Every structure is written in C-alpha cells, then in structure tokens.
Structure 1
C-alpha cells in the first residue's frame, strides 16, 4: 500500500485556475464516491478550500496512481489534463504524510500558522469517515495529524502574532487603549483594507462606526454592516472629534486631513487620545499631524514593519512544529510497520483462546463436582496464565516488525507457534468484513448518487 496526495494550491496555481477546481460542499459526497471507485484507490479524502484542492489516497499501485487520479480530475472538472497538469504537485508515502501534517498545522498556509485549515481538514476527514471512504491507514493518519496540529497551536505561540495589516492595526490600538469598548471608529474611504480593519476593531468591542466616503451611497452600504453612520467628505471635519480611531484609505491626490483640522478636533475632544492609521498610498493624512499632542499616527510602513516582525516570530515557532512533525512521521512509520503483525497476534490469541476453551471443557468432564463459582475462578486464573505467556512473544514480534528482516521474522513466528490454520481464518474473516463494509458503502454511494445532481464546473 502507498499513501499519495495530488493537488494544487495558492503556490502552484493562480486564483483563476484554483476556482475552476473548487468543489462545493454539497458536491463533496459525490466526488468522494467517484474518487473511491477510481482504479487502484483503496481509501480517499478530499480537502477543498479557497486556497487548495487536494486528493489524498491510499493506493495499491503507486506507479499508476497519478494517471488514475488525473483521469478522475479530467472527468469531474471536465477539463483536459493538459490545462492543469503543470499546476499539480504529487507527493508519495513519507512526503505525502509530511505534507498533510504541514497543511493541518498551518505551515503550508498563505498566512503561516493560521488555524482555519485545521477545522477544514477535520471536516474533510469526518465526511470521508461517514461515507466509509477511509480505512485503517487514513483513520490513523488523519487522527494523528489533527491531534498533532492541536498540540502545535497550544504548545507554541505561532498563532499569537498579527500577520496582516488589519490585525496589526488592532494590535497597535490595544497598546494605546488597552481595549476598544465604547470606542468610535471612523473609516475615511470605503476600501477593502480599511473595511477589514474596521471589522476587526468592531469585533474587538468598538461600539460605533462612522463611514466617510466621496460617494455617499457606498458609505451608507458599508455603514449598514456595522449599524453605523454614513457621511460625506464635507461633513467629516465636523465629526472628527467623535472618533477615537480613524482609518483612512482613499485614492485622493492630496491630504484628506491636515494638522489644523486634527488640532481643532482635539480641542473638542479635550485631548483624549486619538489613534490614526493611514493605509493609503499616497498618504491621506498629513505627517505633521503626529506632532499634535495625544495623537498617535501610523502609516502603512509602520504596520508592515509590525507584520514582518511578527512573521519572523511565526517562522521561529514554525521550526518547533517542523520538529514535532518529524517525530510524528516516525511514530506513524513505526505504527505502520507493526500492521503486518496484527493478523499474527490475532491468530496467536485465537489459538490460545481455543486451547483454553478446550481445557475448560475437559475439566468440566473430568471434575463434574466443581460448582460454577469454582469453574469461574479456575477459568480466570488459567486465562491469566495464558495471557502472561503470550505477552513476551507478542512484544518481541512487534519489535522485530520494525527491523530489516521483518518478513522472515514473521514467517518464523507463524512456524514456531503453528499458526497457519488460525492465520488463514483471521485473514478470511478480515476479507469478509471488508467485503461487508464495501457492500454497505456501495449502497450508501448509490443512495447519495441518486440524490445528488451532476457535478457542476464552477466558473467565474
């Protein structure tokens, strides 16, 4: 068996390509069912977000798996592979495991250390489990990756530093005010970054938002999002004194606010602190405003300096997570190496249980005067002896499974304990169980496919 991942993300494909490979949430069950039916694929999970579409699979023939998965992508997204192959990446076995852990912990994200992807991977795995497209390997691997990512975010500070201009603005504001409760925010220019900054401030407790824009209609639209007040540029001067925080991001050629206007507003504010963020290029706010007492003026370079500093801090924390990932990869490899001994252990346990049962049956016949309590005590004691006798052989075969000649060791184990018959029964039982599980899964797929609409290619 081999583990692979095939996908594209923000690093390998621009948004106009990524959006053509988006999978709507309601279509994921059908996509999973179709991928699971693809030749050579034994287990599968699909992780689909705005920044990535990744197909994880357990395959029995890794040299052909890339071809089969690309064929699935051609059929599902209705695109010839020539149009997307150069945007794809494919990792196998240890590299695939490492990639999944980096993705889940946020190290492969556009904003390093973000936590949203953890929830998205968790949801993708939960859906695959529900639809029975995962099995032994992925049930272990995804659970391990999710647990590791949780530890990564609780045991490091990777998610604590602001790494966007809008978050940096909030962080700066906290240094000045401590909190934003009962604070008024004024947005000058209804641009995207200014809006996002106001959104973060509002979410952190700012109680009132004033939106100033050259086009009053646009100001009114944005103000509605925050239950705020809209006003024109001409009216802004009369409302400056009400604002505790001013975010300016317009396309004006000259300064929108000068020192005289701000000084006049500060008199009406009785010199209460005023926090001003100039996100515009060229700048909206006259730099000399910074000389006004109790006015804290920052421009885009100040914020980007904070962002870069915090990114460097996240990179240091990321190195700790890389070390955690290395340990988890080795732990998974060790677990995987012991998988081959599971049927042997079950066979040994089956043989021991059969011997114990036969012995107890013989005892009942030879010692008919024993009552139920006595038989129960004897059964418990003899079972304990059997279990203790098996402990060391089981421990040793697990250890030997990780060594170089593990196949020879397992073969010798079968011969030493004469487990051929029991091993055959165990393997047949596993095969029957897998067949029953597949039958249930196929019925669920058929039901899902009958209800689902045909896959729709999302175009913009």
Structure 2
C-alpha cells in the first residue's frame, strides 16, 4: 500500500481537491444501491485510488443517500478517469452506465461540496446532524489507512467545523430530524401515534441505533434489536431497555410487532414476503421502514394489503424542506466560510513562488560570494563569513515586504500578482490557473460522454 505523498505540491505539481460521486438526486435508487454495496470494503477502495499516479490522497464518504470519493489530485484528467474507473469496477457496472449518475467538483467547488455535506444542506433530510458523524468516521478510516495528507486533512477539518457551526448557530433552535426520525414521522402521518406499539429494529449500526432511539422517544412499549452479531445487538439493547437477538431469529421476532425498521448492510433482501406473511396472518397492519442502501426490504412487500413500506427513495419525495429563513442563514454562513477558505488557499498557493524567489536570491548570493572569494583571496575566513552574513541580511530585508505583500494580494485577487512575480523574475514554478482547471474539468467529463457534471 502506498502512503501519503506530498499534498500541497507533488514533484512541483500543484495538488487540488477533486470530488466525484453520486447521490439520491443524481442517480437512480438502483444505481445508488449498487454504488453503496460496492464500496463496503473501504480499505480496498482506498488502495485502488492510491494506486493511481495522479491521486495523492483519498477519502470515501458512503452513506444511505450518497457515495462520494474525495481525492487530492496532481492532474485532473487522469484522476477523474481513475476515480470513475475505480467506482465503476467496485459497482460492477461499465463506466458508461455509471456516468449519467455521476457529478464532479474540482478545486474550490470540491471544498464547497464537502462543506455542504458536513452541514447537512446536501442531505435527503436537510439539516440532519448524523452526516457529521459519518464524515468524521470516513476521515478517521482514511487517516488510519494512510490515505490522508495535508489537503484532505485541512479541507475535512474545516468542513467539520463549518458543519458544527451551522448546526449550532442556525439549526439549534429548530433542530432537524435525523433520517430515521423523518421516516418515523412519515409513518406516523399514515398510521397514527406509535405510543404503546411494539417495534423491531434489524441492524445495530449507526442507522439502526438512531432508529431505535427514535422509537423509544415516540413511546413504543416493546422494542427488540436484531443483528448478525449477538454482542452488537446486546450492547444497543442495554442502552434502551430493549430485548435482543440475532438475525436468524427474524421470522419469530416479526410475530406480534407493529413496526419493523431495517438498517443493515446486507447485499441481499433481509425482509421478504414469505417472512411477513406469517406475521400478517395474526394482525393485518404493519409499518416497515427501510433505511438500508441497498434495500433490506423486498419490493413485493409494499403490494401486500395492510403493509405500509417507507424507504429512502419514497422519503426523498415526501420530506419537508427546511424553513426558508433557516436555510438562508445556513447558506450565508457556508458562503462566508467558503470565501475565507478560498482566500487562505490562494495566499498559500503563492508559497512555491516565494520559495523559488528566495532560492534564486540564495543562488545569486552564492555566486557573488564565490566571485568575491576568487577576486579577494587575501580575505580571511572570518571576513568572508561577515560578508556572507551581511549579504543574507540585505537579501532577507529586500524580499520580506514584497513576499508578505504578494501573499496578501493573492488572498484578495487570486493569482494575478503571483503570476506577475513569476514572470518578472523568470521563476520556474508550474502553474494552473482557475480557467485552465475549469477547462480541464469540462474536457475531462466530456470523455465520460458528457454525462457527468462539473460545477463551475
């Protein structure tokens, strides 16, 4: 496994953030399910991504309503093709079939996408907080794998901070429901209050935990947790005064329950019509909430009389949008944070030019000192050292104000002054202007058959 490469520049080439993914808006539920199922082995995906020459860092964010790959890249075209190829291979579909559901964001727009995800503004349930934990978990996984360097570290840490700020300052007075809570809200709108009901949660991961807590909050009387691991089910059940069991006991656990919430990572259906038939023979009313991606619940269950199935695609059509004032405030904060991040990034981007300028000055000074030593051989070593120190102080003083000022100007006005400095002193520093980056993005996605999207 290849470890982190330099992130702000690699071999003199600038490294920028690239985000490629698909979500509940861009892709069909079937395609999103295949992407989610294909990226369960995050370590394997990270290894594949880091095997690309053009990719220096990588992080995979996979949730019930999105799969996104954030990479720090040396070259746009090669990286875009490699990320798409990895995603297509993991999903088991040709890239041409996957491409219509893909979107791509580059440089500042990739950071903006990360900020949107962290704040919940890009979630199926706008403003939900669970995505913050999912993003943090993705970052920790990538870090442990040696896939995170300075570019992804800085962008992700800032995204987590921005997400927390938006939730604290804007949404704390009107907290948004989690996806599990929103699904149960929708269920109650059809079936009435869940107070006194009996409920079964299948899956003890993050989504299952959120669903179980939401059910307890709604006053369910009997709650049972099932998981592949008896230990996982027992741990969750102990926190909620619930009973527990293993997935093999599902057929018996269904008897007598009013609500079933499925949230496993199984690639096959967990709840089938055959299992539900025995349950419905006793009582012909059942609410099923499918929070899994790929789906845990077979589609035919929705056709059985007395069964109400709520799944993620259905929620996308039914969830209530955030209040306009709240949404406006959240976007204002995000825009402010994005402007500050971009200014700091532009200021940092001139560092290679400043380093090159100082190296040029050091080189000229060394040549002049060599010339002086050859012309004045009678100078003692101490005298030569005094001359060298004086020249270094002079060089440092001459360069200090211009280098500080060019950082300030770059932060405010982009690369114009940095480019001018490069031209004036004929500095050999690779450059990639914003226009070139956007053009590269457009051309790169054209190679996908013009099916993907680059936000400019």
8 Å Cα contact 2:58/2:147 also seen in 1: yes
Q: What secondary structure, in the 3-state scheme, does the structure 2 residue paired with 1:187 have?
A: coil
1:324 and 2:333 equivalent?
yes
Q: What per-residue deviation string (whole Å, max 9, x for no partner) do you get for residues 316-349 of structure 1?
A: 3222221222223323332333344213433566
Decide whether aligned partners of structure 1 residues 367 and 312 sit closer, same or farther in structure 2, where only a CA change above 3 A counts. closer
Unpaired stretches in structure 1, ≥5 consecutive residues = 172-184, 213-222, 234-249, 254-280, 283-306, 369-374, 428-460
Q: What per-residue deviation string (whole Å, max 9, x for no partner) do you get for residues 71-123 of structure 1?
A: 21233333223443332222333432222111111111112111221122223
Q: What secondary structure, in the 3-state scheme, does the structure 1 residue paired with 2:121 have?
A: coil
- The residue that corresponds to 2:43 in the other structure is 29
- The residue that corresponds to 2:54 in the other structure is 40
Report which of the two has the higher share of helix: 1
Q: Which residues of 2 match residues 190-201 of structure 1 at below 5 A? A: 190=199, 199-200=213-214
C-alpha distance in 2 between matches for 1:364 and 1:153: 65
- The residue that corresponds to 1:152 in the other structure is 166
Q: What per-residue deviation string (whole Å, max 9, x for no partner) do you get for residues 112-167 of structure 1?
A: 11122112222322333443434443333222222211211222225743547985
Q: Which residues of 2 match residues 36-435 of structure 1 at below 5 A? A: 36-63=50-77, 65-157=79-171, 160-161=174-175, 163=177, 187-188=196-197, 190=199, 199-200=213-214, 202=216, 210-211=221-222, 226-227=241-242, 311-313=321-323, 315-347=324-356, 365=382, 390-401=399-410, 402-403=413-414, 405-411=416-422, 414=425
TM-score for both structures, normalised by structure 2: 0.53
Q: What secondary structure, in the 3-state scheme, does the structure 1 residue paired with 2:22 have?
A: strand
8 Å Cα contact 2:350/2:418 also seen in 1: no
Count of residues in Structure 1 that have an aligned counterpart in Structure 2: 314
C-alpha distance in 1 between matches for 2:133 and 2:333: 19
8 Å Cα contact 1:98/1:329 also seen in 2: yes
Decide whether aligned partners of structure 1 residues 350 and 88 sit closer, same or farther in structure 2, where only a CA change above 3 A counts. closer
Decide whether aligned partners of structure 1 residues 316 and 116 sit closer, same or farther in structure 2, where only a CA change above 3 A counts. same
Alpha-carbon RMSD across the aligned residues, in angstroms, is: 5.2
Q: CA deviation at 1:32?
A: 0.7
Q: CA deviation at 1:393?
A: 1.6
8 Å Cα contact 1:7/1:54 also seen in 2: yes
C-alpha distance in 2 between matches for 1:124 and 1:166: 20
8 Å Cα contact 1:39/1:68 also seen in 2: no
Q: What per-residue deviation string (whole Å, max 9, x for no partner) do you get for residues 170-203 of structure 1?
A: 99xxxxxxxxxxxxx95246488xx999843746
TM-score for both structures, normalised by structure 1: 0.52
Greater length-normalized contact order (CA 8 Å, ≥ 6 residues apart): 2
C-alpha distance in 1 between matches for 2:402 and 2:176: 54
Structure number with greater Rg is: 1
Q: What secondary structure, in the 3-state scheme, does the structure 2 residue paired with 1:12 have?
A: coil
